[in-house]
Amino acid sequence: MEEFAVSFWIYIVVMSMFVGGAMKKFLALHIGALPSVVAWLGVTLLVERLCALCMPAVLARLVLCVSCWLYFSWASPKPFLPVEGKAVFITGCDSGFGNATAKQLDAMGFEVFATVLNLEGEGAKHLRRVCSSRLTLLQVDITQPQQIQQALLETKAKLGMRDLWGLVNNAGWCVNIADAELALMSNYRGCMEVNFFGTITVTRTFLPLLRQSKGRIVTISSPSGEFPFPCLASYGASKAALNLFINTLRHELEPWGVKVSTILPASFKTGQSSNPEYWEKQYKNLIQNMPMSLLEEFGEDYLTETKELFQNYAKTANEDLSPVVNTIVEALLSPQPKLRYFAGSGLTLMYFICSYLPLSISDRFLQKLFVQKKVLPLALRKQQGLSPSDNNNSIKENLNNCNSFTKIID
């Protein structure tokens, strides 16, 4: 009877450990933890069944010790690696994530090599003003291989016998949004040149240094590269190609000891995303270069609604870039960095819906999350016997709905 009482209390303790661990994972609200939660609960069920059979007290104690070791080795945060002596190369530091990351890493003591498109631009001037002498600014257009090679030579010359610890692939480009059929081919090619081919060229160029140091590659991607956001075909396709390349690289670099991480940010105000003049210019370029047959079929008010919806969405984006910057720091310094990081609010809900619920639900969610289009193409309105003016009031209503929905997600 006494042996049974001991087993019972050990059973309670073990169950508390396992269930507590699972709840901690769940409450962390990180979609990447879902497989771990499932595995954790599976082991919990197994232990529960074993204990229910009144295992001997000695065996129960052994299970308790192993469980505690597994739990604390899993749950205890690992200290970051030391910063001293580490150098990092970052692309796209004129503004946004790259600019903020360069400042943060410099403040932490990293030696930073930051690329900008314009050495005399506001972003470069700001970095010179606020950063230490450890930061080196390099003018690099990542679509120009010769500039990347020159950056490599300058980086190696500055490092001397020291290693390059990390590469942060941050540079990216997104042009005006439109239906996949309406987007200009120059948009597709431009996104692929910067987001895919440019990033590949930078990564391949600096890989020998990273293999030598057994360092880190951190790449800023996008959820639009994994899910079909309406009107983001050109940008999303380039990020999808990038994701596959980075994941393949991750497997291939494992024997070399190079850790590869991908960061998927939520909606943040970066670059030209909140500049109305920039998007107005892109919109005019779209109208001027679109085949007249398509413009007549869809109608200019259809395109105008898309532009205004996106501008309204961009206005509600998060101005605080620290979630992404902190994630980059973690990926560079964690002893065991994650393969994928989700930075920003709303991503957990989005990834859960898009990964686990039926397509009919996830498609509707993406439509409501990004652009809630209500203006029908002109040709469809004519087929249904509607006049062009029937959609005039829907644009304002749609903008209000988009703003309200974005606040709920954030």
Q: Just list the catalytic residues.
A: 235
Residue 24 contacts by C-beta under 8 Å, 6 or more apart in sequence? Answer: 75
- Exposure b/e, 148-181, CB count within 10 A at least 16 = b: beebbeebeeebeeeebbbbbbbbbbbbbbbbee
What does the CA dihedral 407, 368, 358, 268 come to, rounded to 10 degrees? Answer: -50
Helix, strand, coil content of the chain in percent (nearest 5): 65, 10, 30
The residue to which tokens 């590949």 are assigned = 200
Residue 215 contacts by C-beta under 8 Å, 6 or more apart in sequence? Answer: 163, 164, 165, 166, 167, 209, 258, 259
Please give the C-alpha separations between residue 326 and each of 79, 112, 182, in angstroms, as whole numbers.
15, 16, 37
The first and second tokens of residue 119, run together, are: 């050495």
φ/ψ (deg, to 5) at 112: -110, 130
Contact, 174 vs 196, CB < 8 A? no
The residue to which tokens 């990542």 are assigned = 142
Q: Which segments within 143-212 are labelled E, that is strand? A: 166-169
Contact, 82 vs 332, CB < 8 A? no
Q: Which segments within 164-237 are labelled E, that is strand? A: 166-169, 216-220
Distance, CA of 175 to CA of 170 (rounded, Å): 16
Distance, CA of 241 to CA of 243 (rounded, Å): 5
What region, left, alpha or beta, does residue 257 occupy, with left being phi > 0 and alpha being psi -120 to 50 degrees?
Answer: left
Give the residue among 401, 261, 255, 242 at the shortest CA–CA distance from 333: 261
Please, is 304 exposed, middle or buried when counting C-beta atoms within 10 Å of its C-beta (0-12, 13-18, 19+)? Answer: middle
